[in-house]
Every structure is written in C-alpha cells, then in structure tokens.
Amino acid sequence: MHNSQRTQKIAFLFLFLATLLIVVPVGLIVVIIIQKGLPAINWQFLTDIPRQGMRAGGIFPAIVGTMYLVAGAIVFALPIGLLAAIYLSEYSKDNFLNRLIKLAIVNLAGVPSVVYGLFGLALFVIFLKFGASILSGSLTLGIMILPIIITASREALESVPDSFREVSLSLGASKWQTIRHIVLPNAVPGILTGTILGLGRAAGETAPILFTVAAFYLPRLPHSIFDQAMALPYHLYVISTQVPNVDEKIRYGTALVLLVLVLFMNLVAIIIRYKFRKKKKW
C-alpha cells in the first residue's frame, strides 16, 4: 500500500521532469530571442528597407514578402484542401484505395520541407517557367501545407455529428445542400484552426522558398507575383550566416519579428478553437 503510493509519486515526478524537459528549452529560446531582439525593434526597423548590405536599416521588404507568400499559399491551398477534405470525408467510400489516400496525405505532412523546395523548383520554376517568383514560392508553400489543411478539415468535417446529416437528408435536402448548409458551417472553426496552423508553418519555413522565390538582397517591394521577394526566414538565414559583421541585435530582432508572427497565428488558432469548444453542445 505504502509502497505503491511511493511508486506513484516517483512516476509522477518523472513525468513532470519529462514535461519540464520540453517546456524549458522552448521557454529559453523565446526568452533569449526577446532579450536580444527587443532592443532592435523600432518603427524604422519594421518599415525601412535594409541598408548598408543589410547591416543597417529595416526588414520591411522581408515582412511584406512573407505576407505575400503566406497569402498566396492560402489562396491556393485552402480551396483545394477544403474540396479534397469534403470529398474524402463526405463522398468517398471507405475502401482500400481511399484509406491509402488518407494515409498518404497524413504522411505527406511529415515530408521534409526541403523536398518540397526541390519539387517546387522542378515543377514551378523550371518546368512551368514561372521562374523564381512569388508565384512559384506561394505554390510551393501551398503544396507543403495542403496535407495540414486537408487533415484538419477532414477531422473538422468528420466531427460534425451524423445525426445532423441524417435530419437534413430526411427533410429532403440533397447531399450537397446538407454539406453546404449544415456540415460546413459547423466545421468552420476546425477548418480555420488547421488553416492558420498551416499558415504559421508556411511563414516560418526557409527550405521551400530557398530555390523558388527568395531574394538574397532586394531592397524594394516586389512589383508583381512574377517578381522575386525577400522573406523573413530566408533573410534571417542570410544575415546570420552569409553576411559578415551583422549586428547581433538585427539578427535577433528579425528572429523576434518572425517568432511573433508565427506565435500570433497560433494564438488566433487557439482562441478560435477555445471559443468553439465552449459553444459546442451536442
């Protein structure tokens, strides 16, 4: 009796330590980045173009570039991902082929991002002749986050109780009307959450944009979707490893901006999910 209680306490301690082991490094990273980056953040840093070979000035073109890329990725990936999810959860029969497709999609989410980068280079930049451009970069990022969007949307659609579909059909609604008016509206929060998480991933990745869009140094805003652009993660890579003598402040400042952007998106996703959980009553 006494012994088993002690075992439980020890097990609990181990579990707690394991959790701590995960939380502490993450916390440290955030703290260090804030500590070293915060002094760099000011209005000029956020709104000016890089100057003196990126050793001074701001990171405005990189912020804008990342925004464009993320927006482009979503315009491409959300409709396709959503349609695929609707097909998989509402229309496809539960057979071997479809289970294989679902499994493949889940696994695609784990493919290293540099592989997507190479794929984008081959397909969009070279084969389709889009060149290194916002278009190529957005499409590559879009393909990278498709599995995330499909999986999250599918889960959201499947979590809508079947009884709703049944009632709707029993009232004479068609299958599509049922999906459109009953299933989709109830799945929106889940779809949004997945989409935003995907966006956070798209904003933070370097490898997929490396060959497809990122400009080493382009101190102006892009003119069109066929233009190259700077982007935050790549800019961070460049000023950290490729350009000598960049002030540490600027590097950490850039990292901080990127971190805040991604954390902000995740925060929005969490809030949406939380609100929905509270409202959901069935």
Angle ∠(214,219,225) on CA atoms, nearest 5: 50
Site membership for other proteins, residue 93 (CB under 8 A)? yes
Nearer to other proteins, 83 or 188 (CB): 188
What does the radius of gyration of the chain's CA atoms come to, in whole angstroms? 23
Calculate the dihedral angle through the C-alpha atoms of 253, 48, 46, 25, rounding to the nearest 10 degrees: -20
Site membership for other proteins, residue 87 (CB under 8 A)? no
Q: Are 245 and 55 in contact (CB under 8 A)?
A: yes
The binder of other proteins chosen from 43, 96, 127, 282 (CB under 8 A): 282
Nearer to other proteins, 47 or 177 (CB): 177
> Nearest approach, Cβ of 90 to other proteins (angstroms)?
12
CA–CA separation, 213 vs 227, rounded Å? 8
Nearer to other proteins, 75 or 188 (CB): 188
Nearer to other proteins, 135 or 160 (CB): 160
> Nearest approach, Cβ of 155 to other proteins (angstroms)?
18
> Nearest approach, Cβ of 163 to other proteins (angstroms)?
5
Q: Which 158-187 positions form the footprint of other proteins (CB under 8 A)?
A: 161, 163-164, 166-174, 177, 181-182, 186
Backbone angles phi, psi at 198, to 5 degrees: -60, -40
Site size with other proteins, rule: CB under 8 A: 21
Site membership for other proteins, residue 89 (CB under 8 A)? no
> Nearest approach, Cβ of 86 to other proteins (angstroms)?
17
> Nearest approach, Cβ of 67 to other proteins (angstroms)?
34
Nearer to other proteins, 16 or 274 (CB): 274
> Nearest approach, Cβ of 281 to other proteins (angstroms)?
5
Nearer to other proteins, 168 or 254 (CB): 168
CA–CA separation, 276 vs 269, rounded Å? 11
Q: Are 155 and 90 in contact (CB under 8 A)?
A: no
CA–CA separation, 193 vs 188, rounded Å? 8
Site membership for other proteins, residue 119 (CB under 8 A)? no
Exposure class string for 132-159: b at 16+ Cβ within 10 A, else e: bbbbbbbbbbbbbbbbbbbbbbbbbbbe
- Beta bridge partners, 57, equal 50
Q: Which 186-215 positions form the footprint of other proteins (CB under 8 A)?
A: 186
> Nearest approach, Cβ of 160 to other proteins (angstroms)?
10
Nearer to other proteins, 89 or 212 (CB): 89
Binding site for other proteins (CB under 8 A): 93-94, 161, 163-164, 166-174, 177, 181-182, 186, 280-282
